[in-house]
Structure 1
């Protein structure tokens, strides 16, 4: 069944006294609705549209969008009986939040008057309707707001809102890799005796922290019978102890030291993605679950691919001064690949789901209103916009969910 919805739902028409004009008979009706007010009742016509009345003449405002872009279809009545559309001249002007005005002329078609253009989303505007019939002119004005809410600047600051202007940006596709934290190959040192001999002392144990140059053990040389010190070549943590006093040292290591602040994130890159992942590419590293995120770059690849999967292992330095990252932890890496410049983009973090659309919330003064977007490539930072917002328009980035929640609470929604 064809779907027709009220042109501007969520409004309560409050008739004011008719204003007579000189010359031909003319009246003007004004209706208003509170911004963000709950959905209220108004008179609906046979096609479920908004009825606008002036004396014995009325029009029914509908927007039709079943299989076609949204368009006005307006029905005329005299004494509540249909009027042939050819007897009526009609025009509609829609005033948008940003000052833009959309004007529509109408032509008779079947039993209605059809607008000559698309009613662009959002269906949120101040409406002026002018109709001429039987030597009379009728005018109506009313507000119909959808996805719109106001918030004082102080409240916006307290909510942590941040803003950006829509415009050109360099974007790329997000590629997600899952890997593990490893010690950097240069962060491990095996420490042995310089000369074979008996171990006189070895007091440090696994887990002890050492500094570069610190004495780890003392050994009595078999040749000179002199005791010399074995010192740590790097600062770090003892990960292995392979000797005890009384042992005879040879060429094997007696301690292994690792520097936990020098870690890397290692990711398998499978053949389908090898062309897109390059050394030097920026990558955002984070836990699989949690909020800690750190930036890095792909440093290099292990020289040999995994014989079972064909994957190469990419490595990215992972700054770890506080020791948070531990070898063996799972880590996620998000790379931006296939970067290119686009003429219009918005911050990805500002995107929200609204009805059947992906949207951002435009900011005009202290008023916020939904903008339905047609999107292109979505990247981790920027998302390409093909239509739905004007270049230079301010919109909410950080905290956009706050505006969405306020709009949903207000009930200022579309009546489909």
Structure 2
């Protein structure tokens, strides 16, 4: 191999030197850009996020099951669901008994009959004087029990008939130990039953001051208007008790809040597009949430169907080579 000439050695040295300078300058330039991006939040992520938008039109969004609303005030309720049972109102129940021992010689009322106060339900014959006397209803209501039968001997301690006014009933709600201190008289309650009447909105009318020694539960009671006769004693119910209420200038359904790029966002209309607006959440219940910042009253937003818009943004990001 021939030795390299001094000129060629000099040229190679100069090329290596220039290459080194070029690499160094590129590294310095990259480092400089990195510092600038870091100072602006890393590749201007915030600005990029703010400029993202989905262009699905309102009619298409609605056709896909979406819902659009105008942001406005509302109320968020903290609630608890408790079991309960419909019972007779013991204050409107009357027992019909003879004043002295007697034999039943006639019966004119049956279980289920509606009677007025003063109606004769049966006729008894005194065992001592053999005089006959009527057994009359003391109140207006429905005969819910009858023990008197024709020819039977009855005593003053016997309830020959039980008549109840079913136009008002009691709804007794069981309070577990952790709820006893939170449920208060006057709190709103929504009563529902799996099979029966439509839900009813009421309020707590009574709190038992004594806790059951057997099961260690408290008792809350509602005086239920049953003029329609749809509610029946013995029905099991679920009582949704409102423990507290929070007012908000902007309240949206939970379906409006979507997780996007590790943020909670609401899609807000800006001109002809939907923008994923980061929001700060406040108090919420099982249906709604208060928006503390990020959405203003009067703005149009997607209340339901935001996942459709999110899918469009993600698709666009993958197609452009950006994986957020």
* TM-score normalised by length of structure 2: 0.68
Q: How far did 1:348 drift?
A: 4.2
Q: How far did 1:323 drift?
A: 3.8
Q: What SS does the aligned partner of 1:244 have?
A: coil
Partner of 1:151: 59
- Count of residues paired in the alignment: 284
Structure 2 distance, partners of 1:289, 1:367, is 46
User: Is the CA contact (8 Å cut-off) linking 1:281 and 1:297 kept in structure 2?
Assistant: yes
Structure 2 distance, partners of 1:371, 1:293, is 37
Partner of 2:295: 389
Q: Which has the larger radius of gyration?
A: 2
Q: What SS does the aligned partner of 1:109 have?
A: helix
Partner of 2:33: 108
Higher percent of residues as helix = 2
User: Is the CA contact (8 Å cut-off) linking 1:242 and 1:253 kept in structure 2?
Assistant: yes
The 1:212–1:393 alpha-carbon spacing in structure 2 relative to 1, beyond 3 Å, is: farther
Map 1:4-403 → 2, pairs under 5 A: 84=29, 108-110=33-35, 115=40, 119=46, 123=49, 125=51, 144-146=52-54, 149-151=57-59, 163=69, 165-167=71-73, 169=74, 171-194=76-99, 196-206=101-111, 208-213=112-117, 214-221=119-126, 223=129, 225-231=131-137, 233-236=139-142, 238-251=143-156, 252-287=158-193, 292-342=198-248, 344-348=249-253, 351=256, 362=268, 371-379=277-285, 383-395=289-301, 400-401=303-304, 403=305
The 1:145–1:212 alpha-carbon spacing in structure 2 relative to 1, beyond 3 Å, is: same
Structure 1 distance, partners of 2:141, 2:125, is 25
Q: How far did 1:281 drift?
A: 0.9
Which segment is superposed worse, 112-121 or 193-202?
112-121
Q: How far did 1:333 drift?
A: 1.8
Where in structure 2 are there 5+ consecutive unaligned residues? 1-25, 318-323
Structure 1 distance, partners of 2:66, 2:196, is 21
The 1:256–1:278 alpha-carbon spacing in structure 2 relative to 1, beyond 3 Å, is: same
Higher percent of residues as strand = 1
Structure 2 distance, partners of 1:147, 1:288, is 43
Structure 2 distance, partners of 1:319, 1:177, is 20
Where in structure 1 are there 5+ consecutive unaligned residues? 1-80, 87-106, 126-143
Structure 1 distance, partners of 2:174, 2:244, is 19
Structure 2 distance, partners of 1:235, 1:160, is 52
Q: How far did 1:147 drift?
A: 8.4
Q: What SS does the aligned partner of 1:246 have?
A: coil
> What RMSD, in angstroms, separates the aligned Cα atoms of the two structures?
4.1
* TM-score normalised by length of structure 1: 0.55
Partner of 1:412: 312
